[in-house]
Amino acid sequence: MAAIGPAAADVSAEIRALKARLSKLEADEARAKREAKAAAQHAAAGAHASPAGSPPPPLHWYERLSLRGYTQMRYNDILSGGPWYDIRTTNDRSVGDRQNFFIRRARIILSGDVSDHLYLYFQNDFASSPPNANSTSATFAAYGNVAAQSVYYFYNPVFPYPGYNQVGSYANAPGNFAQIRDLYADIYFDKDKEFRVRAGQSKIPYGFENLQSSQNRLALDRADAINTCCKDERDLGLFFMYTPKEMRHLFRDLVKNNLKGS
């Protein structure tokens, strides 16, 4: 019996070692099965999305368009004269009687590259209004104009005098209307998009400050030379433009570093 004891101990140790090895192999097999299953599911999902190694499907032209916008409020006043001063200016409708606070801009912009050679840009402003739209100054028609009298009496039923030729004032029917600010197409002639023709209504490409967005400009950043010759700094026609690729990269870096944009 004394001689058998060590042999039995060796067998028991070997059995324990084999059990531990078997447990490890079973754990490795289970892990391998899980990894294989996950890889198969991932491969199936990739094959369903697009064939291996193939580029993603091209976007439709309407999926390349983006919609954005912004709004600006404005308030200004003079140091003396109070809110009832009778001052007018043709270039700033916020100067006047009870019209020093208003919606300066309400823009909606639709733009995008609908193809590799065509870019569309459409900007509409919903804060436009006629001059002195908030003023109480009367507007007049010719004497004996019955149609004008009827319009005046409609808007001014309590104050008929002098209704013989006064149409009324915009203050009795204030409001804004939609106005096209920009509507153009850039037609590119090469793949690098360095040469293009712009057709439509857009800002005239003269002067550094004129090409900046109103979001980035102060009131003093508007030269009278351009604003006098071209109403709203825009014109309708055809423009041939050349924009080198390296200059576009430089401009992109300026915008990225929060410097002047467009």
- The winner for highest mean pLDDT among 17-21, 170-174, 245-249 is 245-249
Dist. CA 120–CA 187, nearest whole Å: 9
Kind of pairing between the strands at 177-188 and 195-203: antiparallel
Residue whose token pair is 């919609």 = 67
Q: Answer yes or no: do 126 and 158 share one domain.
A: no
Number of domains in the chain: 3
Nearest to 152 by CA among 143, 19, 236, 86: 143
Q: Which helix (H) or strand (E) holds 253?
A: helix 245-256
pTM: 0.60
Q: Per the structure block, which two tokens stand in for 101?
A: 């606070």
Residue 262 lies in a domain: no
Confidence of residue 1 (pLDDT cuts 50, 70, 90): very low
Q: Answer yes or no: do 197 and 72 share one domain.
A: yes
Q: Answer yes or no: do 118 and 191 share one domain.
A: yes
Output the pLDDT for position 232.
81
Q: Using DSSP, state whether 187 is helix, strand or coil.
A: strand
Using a 10 angstrom Cβ sphere, with 0-12 exposed, 13-18 middle and 19 or more buried, the burial of residue 176 is: middle
Q: Answer yes or no: do 125 and 186 share one domain.
A: yes
Q: 145's torsion region: left (phi>0), alpha (psi -120 to 50) or beta?
A: beta
Q: Answer yes or no: do 8 and 79 share one domain.
A: no
CA dihedral 10, 16, 20, 21 (to 10 degrees): 40
pLDDT digits (tens, 9 = 90+) for 229-260: 777 888 999 999 999 998 888 888 888 887 76
Q: Which helix (H) or strand (E) holds 110?
A: strand 101-115
Confidence of residue 49 (pLDDT cuts 50, 70, 90): low
Domain around 30: 1-57
Q: Answer yes or no: do 146 and 208 share one domain.
A: no
Preceding amide of 162 cis, omega within 30:
yes
Q: Answer yes or no: do 80 and 208 share one domain.
A: yes
**Between 48 and 254, residue with greater pLDDT:** 254
Confidence of residue 37 (pLDDT cuts 50, 70, 90): confident
Q: Which residues pair with 240 in a beta bridge?
A: 197
Q: Answer yes or no: do 112 and 141 share one domain.
A: no
**Is 92 in contact with 77 (CB distance < 8 Å)?**
no
Q: Using DSSP, state whether 38 is helix, strand or coil.
A: helix
Residue 159 lies in a domain: yes
